[in-house]
Amino acid sequence: MTVNGTGTGQVPILQVRDLRVTFNTPDGPAPAVRGVSLDVLPGETLAVVGESGSGKSVTMLAILGLVQGARVTGSAVFDGTELVGLDTGRLRSIRGAKVSMIFQDPMTSLNPVLTIGRQLSLVMRAHQPHLSKQAAAQRAIELVDRVAISQAARRCESYPHELSGGMRQRIMIAMAIANNPAVLIADEPTTALDVTVQAQIMELLDELRRESGLALVLITHDLGVVAGAADRVAVMYAGRIAETGSVLPLFEAPAHPYTRGLLDCLPRLDIRHDVQVSIPGVAVSPLSLPPGCPFAPRCSYAIESCDLAEPVLTQHGDTMAACDVLTGAGTRR
């Protein structure tokens, strides 16, 4: 079963099937990810959207083996290699080289006592052991230049605290692409940055993607970013995918009530808003999941059967949604 939604027939570079991540907490097992399946096609931008606690970050971290204190089951096949349960040595060699990840906070993501050039070198030489120090240093300068930072050579001698937030995020990106990965996972890359800088970073990511053909997985809660950058979208709620599909159909005709709620929250310039719309209630905690559909308590369309069984992803119009109650073709009000 493919969750592609568009059926282009391409072979996904990353195929996740029924991924489950359960944390061991003193208060009992906490299932943060409950059966997530998705595909990442080469060269595309897939946006994974959700509130805090929806499990969007944990999904990606678990795939790379970066989660501690949790049990991970399911499958995540990257380029023919099963990542779940892979031994640490091989997983480490894939991380940063074939599948890279960048994180939200550029302020704390870089080591304050090492120069930029040195940190870049370390990442390169970890995956290309035959690379000499000088060659790595040279390549570091090239990378810094590639991410649109001027005076690259001088920057490589600088320390992180001498750079602005936007520049640091660019350095992070440089580190991530240093070994020419096939997939780049960006976890909220612009959340901690100013709006103008956000646009630059997103543009940079897009440019890199087009140049090298890498696939970009964009984890975010910002629908504005999604609209501008993504090819396909997966909306997550309470550890599962609520809806997925190509970006245009999803934005224009969302099927799942949660997606609709998210889109309704976005203020628009062409429609008058008298009241700030928001989704009632609060995000559900993995420790206290209701039986049935996890969104039901907050859903204005919910009927009795919603509390009985969790819905599965099925095709509705141009998208796939996990909802048993749908109003026709899901047109926006």
Q: Which residues bind other proteins (CB under 8 A)?
A: 23-27, 30, 32, 52-53, 57-58, 61, 64, 66-70, 92-97, 100-101, 103-105, 108-114, 122-123, 126-127, 159, 161-162, 172, 175-176, 187-188, 221, 285-287
Q: Closest separation between CB of residue 159 and other proteins, Å?
A: 5
Identity of the residue numbered 39: D
Q: Closest separation between CB of residue 88 and other proteins, Å?
A: 9
Cα 94 from Cα 86, distance rounded (Å): 10
> CA angle, 52 as apex, 50 and 54 as ends, to 5°?
55
Q: Which is nearer to other proteins, 25 or 315 (CB)?
A: 25
Q: Closest separation between CB of residue 220 and other proteins, Å?
A: 11
Q: Which is nearer to other proteins, 225 or 253 (CB)?
A: 225
Strand partners, 99: 95, 183
Q: Which is nearer to other proteins, 61 or 299 (CB)?
A: 61
Q: Which is nearer to other proteins, 84 or 302 (CB)?
A: 84
Cα 333 from Cα 321, distance rounded (Å): 18
Identity of the residue numbered 89: G
Q: Closest separation between CB of residue 306 and other proteins, Å?
A: 26
Q: Closest separation between CB of residue 271 and other proteins, Å?
A: 29
Q: Which two tokens stand for residue 274?
A: 């008298």
Q: Which two tokens stand for residue 230?
A: 């993504």
Q: Cα–chain-centroid distance for residue 74?
A: 18
Q: Closest separation between CB of residue 166 and other proteins, Å?
A: 17
Q: Which is nearer to other proteins, 104 or 319 (CB)?
A: 104
Q: Closest separation between CB of residue 51 and other proteins, Å?
A: 8
Q: Which is nearer to other proteins, 241 or 320 (CB)?
A: 241
Sign (positive/negative) of CA torsion 67, 73, 77, 81? positive
Cα 172 from Cα 186, distance rounded (Å): 10
- Own/partner contacts of 50-54, CB < 8 Å, gap of 24 or more, are 50/221, 50/235, 50/236, 50/237, 51/221, 51/237, 51/283, 52/221, 52/283, 53/283, 53/284, 53/285, 53/286, 54/236, 54/237, 54/238, 54/239, 54/283
Cα 203 from Cα 73, distance rounded (Å): 35
